[in-house]
Structure 1
Amino acid sequence: MLKREIGQAFAPGHITGFFEICDDSKNPMLVGSRGAGVCIDKGVKTSVQLMPKNIQKQIKIQINTNPMRVESPKIRLRRIKTQFADCSTRVSQEVVNMLIEPIQRSIRARQINLLIDHEVEIPIGCGLGASGAGALSLALALNHLFGLGSSLEMGQVAHRAEIKCKTGLGTVSAQFTGGFELRKEPGAPGFGVVKKLKISEDYRVVCLVVKKMPTPKLLVDKQLKKRINENGARALNLFLKEPTVEGFMKVSRDFAESVGLISPNIRKILAVTDKNGIVCSQAMFGETIFAIVHQSLAPKLSEIFHRIAPNPHWIINAGISREGASVLEWRRQ
């Protein structure tokens, strides 16, 4: 049964400063990461609408109004072009695949004609959690429209989809929770342990995005995983001694240096921000520099990024999303 005309939800972007990969379990609900990061108030808003039955059976996914038609009920992987990057819609497809049968039962019909619209405010594949935000906002929007279960269950669906697609580990649990967070134990929402940390309303997150990194390839690199886990465990122990914004930025930078993913371009920019007394680090995973700074410093850091960044680039000055993912009430215009 339909609950409303359109289901809508928002999930924030997320930046991981340091982490430890925890993927030994065969249960995807227990796979994830330990580490820390911050959710930003820019992310992905997803709208879902059931289309008339008299059109051809399809599921149509749009990212920033660029359409893509895929078959129902099982969706084939294709690729589309967005204004940010050449990106895969595989995670969204996986979420729909996991929920297609409950949707069919909800409306008592096998033919599903869905329009899914992702409004993406953040670059994709650049360490800002766009895949997790897309998956989580889609699951919540589908639930908003069809009444499929609890928000927690939808968070678990999004987590499973991201784990399967290898686009992230602990991102969904962090985005489900919101704020400046510490992931104490790995796993999906309801399985992992995520703690919100105190942070003043006066802080902003400023990012310089240079280019994307291939998260799925990086997550299966055995040598990189070894370096991440050795340094991630140490970083977590250090951060627990000083669980503040300043402690987080310092530990995140040390982690990024130790893991060895800093490119020459990023190194040059970090040298300038260091000279200006602003501790920045690299988002995991992306060729993206970020810092959590007092709002009085945000314009200065943005100006530095504008002045020294290579082209093309993308600068984000965002607030902190303190409440995490949520459904949105749609109103007819």
Structure 2
Amino acid sequence: MLWPERRLLTSLMSRHTHLRFMPEATARQGGHITLLFTVESEQRLPRDQGSCGAGFTVHHGVEAAGTLTLVRQQPSAQSAGVEPDQRITDPVAQRADITVTDRHGSAINDDRIYRSYIESCRFATLLRPHEHLTLQVRLDCPPSQGFGMSAAGLMALGGLLLKLTGRGSRRQYLKIAHQVERQHSGGLGDVLGASVGGVELRTHPGAPGWPGQVESFGAETPVLLVWESTQQRHTSSYIDDAGWKSAITKAGHDCMKRLTQIPWDAKAWPRLIEESATFAEASGMMEEDGRSSLLTTVREAMKKTDLESLAVPCLCMLGTSVAVLPVDLDRTPQEEQLEQLGALCLEQGLSMLLTRLAPVRSNE
């Protein structure tokens, strides 16, 4: 039995003179974690929607690898002596072969967001009708746990297409990623936040570059992510609910008023940690049973380590997950200490991943 992509290529070869494979390329994008935010989804255009808020980007995220196949059309008998159009518009040729796997190598069967992104790139002529994409996407973190995997996947795919084609700019692919996220009711500010890396403050909602506005600072520290694997929460279940939307936005605006009054640099870190806890309580997120239970379990595990004075568990919005973060960037936990805490969390039936903050970068 032929794999789906081999069946497709066999079909193409029966109708076209040749397939020319471009070299394989790979692109990565770290996940994004929001600690506090507002919901700004009333605007008509997806590019204007998003959120104000604060969060950070981590090293682990999504890897996209793939190749472009250039498909050339064979001349028909009727076109003898006439130069044929070498480009084809065959929908089979334009169809992308996409494989998505999780951190354990198991297949994820939902690839709709990637297909939407590819179609948007075709519409923007960043991909051409005669170019067939074979794509493998691998997630380092679980989806629907507040780690920004949909945004990271789209951003990694954009980076891959930029490498394969040399067309467009990073900012163009980021803008498309933001719009596709919104069309699928995904993350509000993940693309904007992850576009600059580090620890970011999103001061105006929207797509990167414009109208979205964001600033960021860098920090070196390991981060422990802990989550309850039996509970997943899609962003839309909150931002499409009028009650949650109102409570989240009010709490987020209150926190942002205070954070925007101070310089956004490494000295703002303790205030961010404080406002994260304030937001979790004021928005009602802390009151949900799954999150409350998770926080209690992680805090109890921390009592068995020497981390209580060095680190604090902060809720990741909007998953059933926490990020164990340093209280002070001048006294960050050692990886060995976080690994010990992670092992204790595993004993309690939780899942965990040790990662690091990602560096600051330009979203140009």
Tell me the TM-score range normalised by the shorter chain: 0.7 to 0.9
Q: Describe the shift of the 1:258–1:298 C-alpha distance in structure 2 as closer, same or farther (beyond 3 A).
A: farther
Aligned to 2:202: 183
- Give the aligned residue type for 2:276: S
Q: Can you give the 5+ residue segments of structure 2 that lack an aligned partner in the other structure? A: 1-19, 73-91
CA contact under 8 A between 1:250 and 1:279: conserved in structure 2? no
**Structure with the larger RCO, 1 or 2 (CA within 8 Å, 6+ apart):** 1
Shift of 1:52: 6.5
Tell me if 1:13 matches 2:31.
yes
CA contact under 8 A between 2:21 and 2:69: conserved in structure 1? no
CA distance in 1, matches of 2:107, 2:342: 21
Tell me if 1:260 matches 2:288.
no
- Give the aligned residue type for 2:351: W
Q: Describe the shift of the 1:124–1:305 C-alpha distance in structure 2 as closer, same or farther (beyond 3 A).
A: same
1:61-76 maps to which residues of 2 (within 5 A)?
A: 61-64=98-101
CA contact under 8 A between 1:249 and 1:291: conserved in structure 2? no
Moved more, 294-303 or 110-119: 294-303
Shift of 1:136: 1.0
CA contact under 8 A between 1:46 and 1:137: conserved in structure 2? yes
Aligned to 1:130: 149
Shift of 1:207: 1.1
TM-score when scaled to structure 1? 0.81
Aligned to 1:98: 120
**Cα deviation code 1:210-266 (max 9, x no counterpart):** 132122222201100001011001111233356522211121122112222332422
Residue identity over aligned pairs, in percent, reads 22
CA distance in 2, matches of 1:312, 1:160: 37
Match of 2:318 among 262, 285, 307: 285
CA distance in 2, matches of 1:237, 1:18: 12
Aligned to 1:147: 166
Aligned to 2:351: 314
- Give the aligned residue type for 1:118: V
Secondary structure of 2:293 counterpart: helix
Aligned to 1:246: 270
Aligned to 1:219: 239
- Give the aligned residue type for 1:265: S
Aligned to 2:86: none
Shift of 1:85: 8.6
Q: Describe the shift of the 1:179–1:166 C-alpha distance in structure 2 as closer, same or farther (beyond 3 A).
A: same
Moved more, 111-120 or 289-298: 289-298
- Give the aligned residue type for 1:205: V
CA distance in 1, matches of 2:35, 2:64: 26
Aligned to 1:77: none
Q: Can you give the 5+ residue segments of structure 1 that lack an aligned partner in the other structure? A: 67-80, 327-333
CA distance in 2, matches of 1:189, 1:282: 25
- Give the aligned residue type for 2:67: Q
Shift of 1:84: 7.1
Number of equivalences: 306
Aligned to 1:76: none
CA distance in 1, matches of 2:106, 2:144: 9
CA distance in 1, matches of 2:258, 2:137: 38
CA distance in 2, matches of 1:106, 1:136: 16
CA contact under 8 A between 1:3 and 1:144: conserved in structure 2? no
Match of 1:195 among 186, 195, 215: 215
Shift of 1:195: 0.2
Q: Describe the shift of the 1:31–1:135 C-alpha distance in structure 2 as closer, same or farther (beyond 3 A).
A: same
CA contact under 8 A between 2:200 and 2:216: conserved in structure 1? yes
Shift of 1:146: 1.8
Shift of 1:87: 6.3
- Give the aligned residue type for 1:174: G
**Cα deviation code 1:249-287 (max 9, x no counterpart):** 121122112222332422422542685343221101111
CA distance in 2, matches of 1:214, 1:84: 20
CA contact under 8 A between 1:9 and 1:325: conserved in structure 2? no
Moved more, 27-36 or 306-315: 306-315
Structure whose residues are more often strand by fraction = 1
* RMSD across aligned positions (CA): 3.0
CA distance in 2, matches of 1:63, 1:142: 17
Aligned to 1:121: 140
Shift of 1:119: 2.3
CA distance in 1, matches of 2:299, 2:351: 19
Q: Describe the shift of the 1:115–1:300 C-alpha distance in structure 2 as closer, same or farther (beyond 3 A).
A: same
